[in-house]
Amino acid sequence: MRTEVGTFARLKELRQTLLEPSVKEHYGTIFKLMGDGFLVEFGSVVDAVACAAALQSGLAERNRAVAENERILLRVGVNLGDVIVEGEDRYGEGVNIAARLEQLADPGGICVSQPVITSLATSCRLSSRLSANTR
């Protein structure tokens, strides 16, 4: 049976053992925790998407060993946009769109904005050209 105390304990463990290490590995910063939600900032959209994929993959792996009614499924929204920094918080369209994308994602999924897709495509083309020129 799922309880608030049990869910909180699983979320806390997940944050400490999967979320925080993955964010650190991908050069991100968690700037807001809100119950079962969190906001993370990255300097690179490639790092943001790689972290989201690693997080969802790690969570899916963990969920295989957990009863279906005890599983935690996250939705991830990734946006590329300007933000306003005020103290430890972030505001603006960049954050607002990411929050809306999160709501559109399937449980266990990732939803990205068109600017993210465009940036990733550009990064991949540039990476391919650099690799081809260095051989």
Rounded to the nearest 5°, which phi and psi values hold at 81?
-170, 170
Query: Residue 110's pLDDT band (boundaries 50, 70, 90)?
Result: very high
Whether residue 59 contacts residue 18, with contact meaning beta carbons closer than 8 Å, is answered with: yes
Q: Which of 78, 87, 77, 73 has its CA nearest to residue 32?
A: 87
User: What ranges make up the beta strands (E) of 65-105?
Assistant: 76-78, 84-86, 89-91
**Is 105 in contact with 75 (CB distance < 8 Å)?**
yes
Q: Is the pLDDT of residue 15 over 60?
A: yes
- What pLDDT, in 10s, does the model give residues 22-36? 999 999 999 998 878
